[in-house]
């Protein structure tokens, strides 16, 4: 059909590739432009809650999730001195309540599975976006390699430093005052407890530590959040110093010390946030994932919300004509903006609570968390895990 829209997706991260896969599943074609000249293994772990695992499974990724992911049995929270604060049941109860397990997965395994699903046809590597301009009912994209491309719809899935977002609003990332160490350690270097299918968090003054097994249980992924004196680049490729990681968590109990001392290499970067978007779209342009709502990682929902965005937008665009786009983008914003703003605000709000100094407020927090143990905490996540992206789109 000549009136079907030409769709350009900027960025081949989890959000951009999920959108391309979901569009393809509905018979809608797109081109995906990626600034990197080649796609290499990056990142460490990613947590996939049922609100993302369900739609990814429907796209055909369920075998990969089960083979390469780790179905989490419980999320446990400890104090930095080793005492357990609370544990939230997941496992079979999570799948029964919400239709999918809660998975811990290597980001590269997920991205690779999405790439295989999309196939090489839509991908345009080595295309770093330089400028976006309107030309009547079309959008012209200009890339640093000299190439140009015309589209009826441009979707910015190009991260926290999104060029596409700049066409919607003039704002800037806000440094949180925190940095994150990330890395992977083979589980055979760690005590046997590391093999358990658990997500573990240790909370302490001004910092916290998270770890979980990935890659079918062969590797332990960790994220260690601590104060950072100076804002640096927000880049997954920024190298860190393992000795700084050890020093930042000196004296912490449990697996924390085992992991920090088993690390060969670590990445470290600053954590940034942005204000909520007032508008998600113009007539021919919109954003998703971190380009729309970058989140501090304190609810582990960044990738999950990007998947939801992609599924919602793809469902709205299924069978669409060029003239339908402005109205559909308005519906996309209406469906996504309130929910992502709530998650973004919640993630930001967790910053202080997770990093309280030892004392009365910390003990009050621990007591409140302990009351939501077991299945109670799992049921309280219904607003997150039970959400069905794309359910309101026309069928």
pLDDT of residue 8: 98
Q: What is the b/e burial string over 14-37, where b = at least 16 CB atoms within 10 angstroms of the residue's CB? A: bbbbbbbbbbbeeebebbbbbbee
Residues 6+ apart with CB under 8 A from 242: 260, 263, 264, 265, 266
pLDDT at residue 237, as a whole number:
59
What is each CA distance from 261 to 45, 185, 253, 255, in whole angstroms? Answer: 19, 10, 12, 10
Residue ranges of domains in the chain: 7-172+274-385
Of the candidates 200, 263, 213, 259, which has an alpha carbon nearest to the alpha carbon of residue 68? 213
Burial class (CB in 10 A: 0-12, 13-18, 19+), 9: buried
State residue 238's pLDDT score. Answer: 72
CATH class of 7-172+274-385: alpha beta
For residue 212, indicate whether it is catalytic: yes
What predicted TM-score, i.e. pTM, was given to this entire model? 0.95
Catalytic residue among 78, 98, 102, 212: 212
Query: CA-CA distance, 201 to 215, in Å (whole number)?
Result: 19
Alpha-carbon span 55 to 154, nearest angstrom: 23
| Tokens 């799948």 found at | 95
CA angle 376, 377, 383 (to 5 degrees): 110
Q: Enumerate residues 6+ apart whose C-beta is below 8 A from 166.
A: none
Instruction: pLDDT tens for the chain, 395 residues: list them.
Output: 568 999 999 999 999 999 999 999 999 999 999 999 887 766 789 999 999 999 999 999 999 999 999 999 999 999 999 999 999 999 999 999 999 999 999 999 999 999 999 999 999 999 999 999 988 889 999 999 999 999 999 999 999 999 999 999 988 888 999 999 999 999 999 999 999 999 999 999 999 999 999 999 999 999 999 999 877 655 555 778 899 999 999 999 999 999 999 999 899 989 988 888 989 999 899 999 999 999 999 999 999 999 999 999 999 999 999 999 999 999 999 999 999 999 999 999 899 999 999 999 999 999 999 998 989 999 999 999 999 998 866 65
DSSP class of residue 99 equals S
pLDDT for 284 equals 93
pLDDT in tens, 34-83: 999 887 766 789 999 999 999 999 999 999 999 999 999 999 999 999 99
Could you tell me if 36 and 328 are in contact, meaning their C-beta atoms sit under 8 angstroms apart? Answer: no
């Amino acid at each position: 059909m000549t009136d079907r829209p030409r769709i350009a997706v900027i960025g081949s991260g989890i959000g951009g590739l999920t959108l391309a896969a979901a569009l393809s599943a509905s018979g809608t074609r797109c081109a995906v432009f990626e600034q990197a000249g080649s796609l290499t293994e990056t990142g460490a772990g990613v947590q996939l809650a049922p609100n993302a695992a369900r739609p990814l499974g429907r796209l055909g990724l369920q075998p990969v999730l089960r083979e390469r992911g780790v179905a989490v049995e419980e999320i446990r929270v400890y104090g930095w001195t080793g005492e357990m604060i609370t544990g939230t049941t997941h496992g079979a109860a999570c799948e029964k309540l919400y239709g999918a397990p809660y998975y811990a997965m290597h980001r590269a395994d997920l991205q690779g599975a999405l790439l295989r699903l999309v196939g090489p046809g839509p991908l345009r590597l080595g295309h770093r976006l330089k400028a976006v301009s309107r030309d009547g009912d079309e959008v012209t994209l200009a890339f640093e390699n000299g190439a140009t491309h015309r589209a009826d719809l441009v979707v910015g899935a190009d991260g926290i430093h999104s060029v596409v977002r700049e066409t919607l609003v003039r704002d800037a990332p806000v440094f949180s005052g925190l940095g994150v160490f990330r890395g992977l350690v083979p589980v055979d270097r760690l005590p046997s407890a590391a093999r358990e299918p658990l997500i573990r968090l240790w909370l302490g003054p001004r910092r916290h530590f998270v770890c979980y097994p990935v890659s079918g249980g062969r590797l332990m992924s960790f994220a260690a959040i601590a104060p950072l004196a100076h804002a640096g680049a927000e880049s997954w490729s920024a190298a860190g110093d393992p000795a700084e990681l050890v020093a930042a968590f000196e004296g912490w109990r449990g697996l924390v010390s085992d992991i920090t001392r088993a690390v060969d290499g670590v990445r470290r970067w600053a954590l940034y946030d942005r204000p909520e978007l007032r508008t998600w779209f113009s007539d021919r342009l919109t954003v998703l994932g971190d380009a729309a709502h970058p989140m501090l990682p304190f609810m582990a929902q960044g990738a999950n919300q990007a998947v939801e965005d992609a599924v919602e937008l793809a469902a709205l665009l299924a069978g669409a004509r060029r003239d339908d786009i402005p109205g559909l983008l308005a519906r996309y914003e209406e469906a996504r903006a309130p929910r992502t703003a709530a998650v973004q605000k919640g993630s930001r709000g967790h910053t202080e609570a997770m990093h309280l100094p030892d004392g009365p407020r910390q003990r009050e927090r621990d007591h409140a968390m302990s009351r939501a143990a077991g299945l109670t905490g799992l049921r309280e996540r219904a607003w997150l895990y039970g959400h069905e992206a794309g359910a309101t789109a026309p069928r």
